[in-house]
Structure 1
Amino acid sequence: MPEFNHIFLPGSTSSFPYSTHGGGGFNLRPRLNRGQHGSRIQGAFTEAVSEFSEGDSDFEFVYIEFESAINFELAFDRFEDTAGNIRLATCRAISSTDDNEQITFKIAVYLNRTAVSSFLTKIEQYIAEDTPAGRPRNQNLVANIENIRAATLESFWQEPEISFPQPNENVWWEVWFSKSEGNEIQEAFSSLRENNLLVSERLLEFPENTVCLVRGTVNQLAEVILYRNNLAELRKPVETSDFFANLDKAWTGEFIDDLKARIINQIDEHEISVCLLDTGVNRVNPLLEDLIQARNLDSINPSWTNSDSYRYGHGTPMAGLILYGDLNEPLSSSDSINITNNVESIKIIDASTANDPDLYGKITLEAIASAEVINPSHKRIVCLAVTAPDHKYLGRPSSWSAAIDQKLFGAIDERNDNTLVLISGGNLPLNDRLNYPLANDDFSIEDPAQSFNSITVGSFTNKDRIDAVEFPGATLLANRGAMAPCNSTSILWNNKWPRKPDVVFEGGNDGVFDTGILDHDSLKLLSSGVGGVGKSWLTTFSDTSASVALASKFASELYQQYPDYKPETIRALIIHSADWNDIMLNSASLSDLNAEQKTDLLSKVGYGIPNLGKAKYSAENSLSIIAERSLKPFKYEESRVKTNEFHLFDLPWPSDILVELAELEVKLKITLSYFIEPNPGNRRYQDDQSYKSHGLRFKMIDRAEGLTLFKARVSKAIRDGLEDYIPEGNENWILGSQVRDKGSIQRIYG
């Protein structure tokens, strides 16, 4: 069937005023005696202020911790004002350990002297005054507060799964400071050093926060930063994992020489690079030496070499997969092979370096910047397989994932138009795979793969061959086409966060032999090895690291086809081309699955397996229309932020042809891709609405629905202008909004 480039929809789009139709209200605790409750809160607040200020009536500010009643939220917006007198510093949702799913919310709040006085006045008004509607004044602020106490350093701890360090335990801290005018942050760093605390030289900058690493005890840290007015939060720094197995395998050099003779090098025909952030690359491997320039190798640490320092290699086999794919295929063929991917390697971890924590968000940004210096005119696919498995964010942003989101968004006045990041989801430990697939539900996607703006890559497998003579009675863990045993998932994540992974690529398989795990070469991919004395230039490789390398190869080749497209569009084309196979759907159709089954599907294998042909080309029976637009979702008006506009697309349907095909069933698939601007400060207990700058969605006009009434269904601002509004249409997609409307990429079916 003939193939041709996708149709790009140029021109402007109609814009219309937008406002939301509203949502649920604020839930208040019922049956409170406001006099008793208000007096108790008043006393607790006064005592907490006195305790934090140590009785000093001339205090400048205090940090106070407020705790909600069980399963009732606090009125978070009432703990902030535009003058900066009161500021919500941190917020935590603390779940009970029993089966009752009870949640308590704790917030640490900065209040200066003016705010303390104002808060006491509001409590008095709550006790004694009513609103015109007959409700207690400031009821939303006061009613759901259960406890108040002076804040401690633990009030700023944002790791619900990790115990707060003991008072004299000397540990690394990730310290977040709120940005403010003046030199307050530099003064904080100077004070930390003066008090014999070790402070990392690396700083990670966000629009509202500066993050640094500090080593010291709870008591040391409390003396220095608890009484600074710009403390925002504390976290445990990321420590990377060692995921490199012994994959030695001997091959003869004749296979390599034969393959090299069949290579057609087309790398210099475009300016698209795959930037590999990993353990370095041994380009002396004969399969790599002519394809990766020495100038394309660098390291974030000048004392390191640029070569792969791990015994069996990790960056080197990833580079091989980015260039060749699974080497089993070209080595088994006699055909010519076109190599088009330009590989950059920036070494970010080294086997000889102690595994101290570091600001891996900052390291990632530094590494990308190094690649941009090497090839400043290139557009770039960043490939990252370094993840942190012991830091269970369960979808919540970290400094690392937020740094990646910030890089991909860019700045308001300088948007990112040339970089896309792909991250591996992380792997189940080998022995845990015996409980496949149940164990996968309990093993979370790893940090920083919860990033909104990146593409998170998981694993499926088509590897299904075990030598029955060598391993009699051995069985496969995963059937051909199923989720790979190594694959981590987002099953455990709160429903607010994006579904991850986004897509899956080949990651290899495992088996069971004599009741133990069978980790055999026949179930893995083949790639370039580090070589050396007694080692082959070829090695086997697997897991989500292999998958993200294959995904980066895919993305680079797609970018070469459409070099003028924005990174958001390349991401959309990858996910738009993906689909689930029968094994993933359990031989059912997507429409036969209920909402829970659809959610599980997206949380395990994302949107499925991408298809490069579909991503690159349209066909006579499969047409893709692409539109790139800029939207300003908010405006500042009447001293507050309001929703601004929505875009309406009039798609160029070939009406005469569609009339002729009136009885033919047509499938419609729509993919929306955009980059959010992150707000990683942990307010609103890390709710996705607080973290992301905006959440774009889409709707489609129904059959026989009038255009004006469709606009009114979308926007309250238009509905309010109609005298008699009677809805004419709705939407009933196979993937409904409750399942798909997560993160910054959504896809629907109809």
Structure 2
Amino acid sequence: MVESISAIKLAAIDALWTDERELLPNAEQAIWWEVWLRYSEKFDCEAFVREHAPHLNLRVSAESIRFLDRTIILVFGTREQISHSIHLLGAIAELRKAKDTADFFTGMGRQDQRAWIEQTLENLTPPPNDAPTICILDTGINHEHPLLQPVAEMTDMHTYIPGWGTDDRNGHGTNMAGVSIYGDLTEAVANPLPLKLTHRLESVKITPNPDFHTDKKLYGAITRDSIARVEIEADRQRLFCMAVSTTDNRDRGRPSSWSATIDAISSGAEDEQQRLVILSAGNTDPQHRHLYPNNNLTDEVHDPGQSWNALTVGGYTEKVWLDTATNPDWIPLAPAGGLAPASCTSMTWQKTWPIKSDIVMEAGNMATNPANEGADYIDDALQLLTTGHQFALGKQLVSFGDTSAATALAANLAAKVQALYPDYWPETIRALLIHSAKWTPAMKAVFEPLNSQAKYQQLMRYCGYGVPDQDALFWSARNELTLIAQDVIYPYTKKGSNVKTRDINLHTLPWPADVLRDLPPKTQVEMKVTWSYFIEPNPGERGWVNKYRYASHGLRFDVRRPLETLTDFKQRINQKARDEEHAYNGATPDSGQWLLGEKLRSLGSVHSDTWTGTAAELAERGYIAVYPVLGWWKERANLERWGKSARYALIVGIKTPSVATDIYTAIEKQIFLPVAIE
């Protein structure tokens, strides 16, 4: 009977385990467990665990994370030790393997690091030769690092100035390379699981040192020429990743020569080839980070991060565990899910400029000592793990962070999407990352209550659209449906001496209307619409006033309203297209059911908004119109751009309650077709 009870207790641990089954330790293997405790108004589960852990020879972390109905702590011990107490098991909602941190590996000697690297290589499957490529524009890459050899060739290493060489003597480029291929290497190295790589590496050394602030060069030209150099050498599917930026705050969101060059390159203005360029938002002043989060509010996104077409990446952090035994009294500077101390924002920009950053990714954290109120990178556990450029001297695995690491993570994510969907355009991949993004509770808490569009604008200028959800990005749950369209529109035409708007694209969406109507009458559903297009820039000062605009063209979307007939919808959209000034300013409200509203969501060249209503209302909203508004292609007819076409990607997601029936079957045989209205 005693053996049966023990087996039941161990089985209870198996049932509480929500991580990958391969990571569940055997009964006598001691590990750090991530313990998610239940919430009760009558019983303090965390206090109970801390009080009884010594009696079970369990160690408990000093830190904890509290959410609405869960408290998370780290516990070191075996399955058997945890299973000894029925009361302890009753306090636990779920168990996971605690994330290994960078300090575990950076604190190792060279031989131990090499052993972990060799284990990773044994489990690794290199990408195919025709896999997508991330081209890193940085300080070069030392591609002979053991973890980079499977994805990088010497022939793909380039330099802007031949005398610089292609190697990395600073470390920044090689750090970027490791994260762009593996993500946070902590997870890849720590988990003895098969690892299949999806993309490869290229490099152009555009500077010997990323801290080039006194080196006055025309970096727009350097970026343009470096990209051209890579594309001449090899014709392949690639995206570009650059975490080099300036540090001055002169632009305040206005286009610069560098950001406008990025816009021209990505739009294909000169060669009709569109490109995805991923940029960092830049880092806040390290001397002022102890003022967090106030320093984030005033330190602006760095040039060229204001680029309209680029995917600009800021930083947030989930890294809040540090070694309080080694660093007593030190505490993490940013809370779990909060903006990273290094992340710049567009809080002080004029309201007419695009929302930047677009998304945020893990950028690491810092810690502060209450005794002196200084902020420091005190513990590598608060950073990511990546490849070191001095690997031959023993620094094979090193810590890395700030918005450079976040930018490399975004490139890693974008390349995975490109590998999975090779036919998707750069505009589509940018849209997908933004469409899947969500704000964390810590981000929203900074601006609560979120009861106005002004508050949401502050939130977006603080952290963009949030953190991409990889589950939502790569897979749709059965209660979620994502529809994707890649299409072309001709915004303008010339009649006599006048340039006028031309096409409106009407997308008929194959809503499962019958399924939605069959749901209970008050069932709340969501429709999220994201779309992305690239503009051709006009960066001169004249582009900053109303008459001559920076963007070549503007595009907007609108959705048929409930109770609005298709004929009425067409007439309304035609009226909005004719009244261009009215449309450009984002008027014509569509009730309070849109989270952001037309005016706020229409900034820049990527737009995303969420509508919430009943299932019956959604069933009647099966049409989305895409229409043009003002741009210099129209207003500067002498440049003869008015006849050009414009590409765009449109993503529509429907989210129904988990109790809803399958909504895929209802649209399986339907086709997503655009119809042009003259």
**Equivalent residue number for residue 421 of structure 1:** 277
Q: CA deviation at 1:682?
A: 1.5
Secondary structure at 1:432 match in 2: helix
Query: Identity over aligned residues, as a percent?
Result: 38
**Equivalent residue number for residue 631 of structure 2:** none
**Equivalent residue number for residue 676 of structure 2:** none
Residue pair 2:296, 2:341 contacting (<8 A) in 1 also: yes
The separation in 2 between residues aligned to 1:391 and 1:588, in whole angstroms, is: 24
Q: Does residue 303 in structure 1 map to residue 163 in structure 2?
A: yes
The separation in 1 between residues aligned to 2:406 and 2:430, in whole angstroms, is: 16
The separation in 2 between residues aligned to 1:503 and 1:350, in whole angstroms, is: 28
**Equivalent residue number for residue 681 of structure 1:** 540
Q: CA deviation at 1:582?
A: 1.6
Q: Does residue 570 in structure 1 map to residue 429 in structure 2?
A: yes
**Shift in alpha-carbon separation, 1:620–1:442, aligned structure 2, 3 A:** same
**Shift in alpha-carbon separation, 1:425–1:688, aligned structure 2, 3 A:** farther
**Equivalent residue number for residue 667 of structure 2:** none
**Equivalent residue number for residue 255 of structure 1:** 116
Q: CA deviation at 1:314?
A: 0.4
Residue pair 2:140, 2:168 contacting (<8 A) in 1 also: yes
**Equivalent residue number for residue 616 of structure 1:** 474
Of 423, 441, 444, 2:297 maps to 441
Secondary structure at 2:164 match in 1: coil
**Equivalent residue number for residue 455 of structure 1:** 311
Q: CA deviation at 1:689?
A: 6.3
Residue pair 1:579, 1:608 contacting (<8 A) in 2 also: yes
**Equivalent residue number for residue 527 of structure 1:** 386
Number of residue pairs the alignment of both structures matches = 491
Q: CA deviation at 1:709?
A: 2.1
Secondary structure at 1:309 match in 2: coil
Q: Does residue 410 in structure 1 map to residue 238 in structure 2?
A: no
**Equivalent residue number for residue 275 of structure 1:** 135
Q: CA deviation at 1:373?
A: 2.4
Residue pair 2:427, 2:534 contacting (<8 A) in 1 also: yes
The separation in 2 between residues aligned to 1:351 and 1:669, in whole angstroms, is: 42
Residue pair 1:579, 1:609 contacting (<8 A) in 2 also: yes
Opposite residue 602 of structure 1, the aligned amino acid is: M
Specify which structure has the higher proportion of helix.
2
Q: CA deviation at 1:481?
A: 0.7
Q: CA deviation at 1:318?
A: 0.7
**Equivalent residue number for residue 107 of structure 1:** none
The separation in 1 between residues aligned to 2:319 and 2:485, in whole angstroms, is: 38
**Equivalent residue number for residue 629 of structure 1:** 487
Q: Cα deviations across residues 70-103 of structure 1 (Å, max 9, x unaligned)?
A: xxxxxxxxxxxxxxxxxxxxxxxxxxxxxxxxxx
**Equivalent residue number for residue 180 of structure 1:** none
Of 320, 324, 328, 2:178 maps to 320
Map 1:10-21; keep pairs closer than 5 Å: none
**Equivalent residue number for residue 734 of structure 1:** 595
Q: CA deviation at 1:667?
A: 0.5
Opposite residue 673 of structure 1, the aligned amino acid is: S
**Equivalent residue number for residue 503 of structure 2:** 645
Residue pair 2:319, 2:364 contacting (<8 A) in 1 also: yes
The separation in 2 between residues aligned to 1:431 and 1:687, in whole angstroms, is: 39
Q: Cα deviations across residues 469-510 of structure 1 (Å, max 9, x unaligned)?
A: 222111211101111110000001001100100001000001
Of 477, 485, 497, 2:333 maps to 477
**Equivalent residue number for residue 217 of structure 2:** 358
Residue pair 1:734, 1:748 contacting (<8 A) in 2 also: yes
Which shifted more, 635-644 or 621-630?
Answer: 635-644
Q: Cα deviations across residues 391-426 of structure 1 (Å, max 9, x unaligned)?
A: 5311100111111111111138x5324x21100000
**Equivalent residue number for residue 194 of structure 2:** 336
The separation in 2 between residues aligned to 1:255 and 1:501, in whole angstroms, is: 35
Secondary structure at 1:281 match in 2: coil
Residue pair 2:313, 2:410 contacting (<8 A) in 1 also: yes
Q: CA deviation at 1:460?
A: 0.4
Secondary structure at 2:541 match in 1: coil
**Shift in alpha-carbon separation, 1:454–1:577, aligned structure 2, 3 A:** same
Map 1:99-498; keep pairs closer than 5 Å: 250-251=108-109, 252=112, 253-268=114-129, 270-310=130-170, 313-351=171-209, 355-376=214-235, 378-411=236-269, 414-417=271-274, 419-498=275-354
Residue pair 1:425, 1:457 contacting (<8 A) in 2 also: yes
Residue pair 2:544, 2:550 contacting (<8 A) in 1 also: no
**Shift in alpha-carbon separation, 1:624–1:688, aligned structure 2, 3 A:** farther
Q: Cα deviations across residues 239-292 of structure 1 (Å, max 9, x unaligned)?
A: xxxxxxxx9865422112222222111242x44110000000112222212321
Q: TM-score, normalised by structure 1?
A: 0.62
Structure with the greater alpha carbon radius of gyration: 1
**Shift in alpha-carbon separation, 1:630–1:533, aligned structure 2, 3 A:** closer
**Equivalent residue number for residue 694 of structure 1:** 553
Q: TM-score, normalised by structure 2?
A: 0.69
Residue pair 1:558, 1:612 contacting (<8 A) in 2 also: no
Q: Runs of 4 or more off by more than 6 Å in structure 1?
A: 587-590, 717-720
Residue pair 2:589, 2:597 contacting (<8 A) in 1 also: no
Secondary structure at 2:488 match in 1: coil
Residue pair 1:325, 1:553 contacting (<8 A) in 2 also: yes
**Equivalent residue number for residue 360 of structure 2:** 504
**Equivalent residue number for residue 179 of structure 1:** none
Residue pair 2:138, 2:203 contacting (<8 A) in 1 also: yes
The separation in 2 between residues aligned to 1:248 and 1:364, in whole angstroms, is: 33
**Shift in alpha-carbon separation, 1:707–1:267, aligned structure 2, 3 A:** same
Of 586, 604, 608, 1:743 maps to 604
Residue pair 1:703, 1:729 contacting (<8 A) in 2 also: no
Residue pair 1:501, 1:603 contacting (<8 A) in 2 also: yes
Q: Cα deviations across residues 659-695 of structure 1 (Å, max 9, x unaligned)?
A: 2225332110000110111111221546696101112
Secondary structure at 2:259 match in 1: helix
Residue pair 2:131, 2:198 contacting (<8 A) in 1 also: no
Q: CA deviation at 1:556?
A: 0.3
**Equivalent residue number for residue 413 of structure 2:** 554
Q: Using CA pairs under 8 Å that are at least 6 residues apart, name the structure with larger relative contact order, 1 or 2.
A: 1
Q: Does residue 543 in structure 1 map to residue 402 in structure 2?
A: yes
Secondary structure at 2:554 match in 1: coil
**Shift in alpha-carbon separation, 1:688–1:451, aligned structure 2, 3 A:** farther
Which shifted more, 467-476 or 353-362?
Answer: 353-362
Residue pair 2:341, 2:366 contacting (<8 A) in 1 also: yes
The separation in 2 between residues aligned to 1:463 and 1:267, in whole angstroms, is: 33
Residue pair 1:710, 1:729 contacting (<8 A) in 2 also: no
The separation in 2 between residues aligned to 1:719 and 1:460, in whole angstroms, is: 42
Q: CA deviation at 1:535?
A: 4.1
Residue pair 1:702, 1:729 contacting (<8 A) in 2 also: no
| Structure 2: gaps spanning 5 or more residues | 1-104, 580-587, 612-678
**Shift in alpha-carbon separation, 1:742–1:475, aligned structure 2, 3 A:** same
Of 358, 375, 385, 1:517 maps to 375
Which shifted more, 313-322 or 608-617?
Answer: 608-617
**Shift in alpha-carbon separation, 1:359–1:265, aligned structure 2, 3 A:** same
The separation in 2 between residues aligned to 1:287 and 1:688, in whole angstroms, is: 53
The separation in 2 between residues aligned to 1:670 and 1:306, in whole angstroms, is: 43
Residue pair 1:705, 1:729 contacting (<8 A) in 2 also: no
Q: CA deviation at 1:719?
A: 8.7
The separation in 1 between residues aligned to 2:560 and 2:598, in whole angstroms, is: 15
The separation in 2 between residues aligned to 1:443 and 1:366, in whole angstroms, is: 30
Opposite residue 444 of structure 2, the aligned amino acid is: L
Residue pair 1:437, 1:485 contacting (<8 A) in 2 also: yes
Secondary structure at 2:457 match in 1: helix
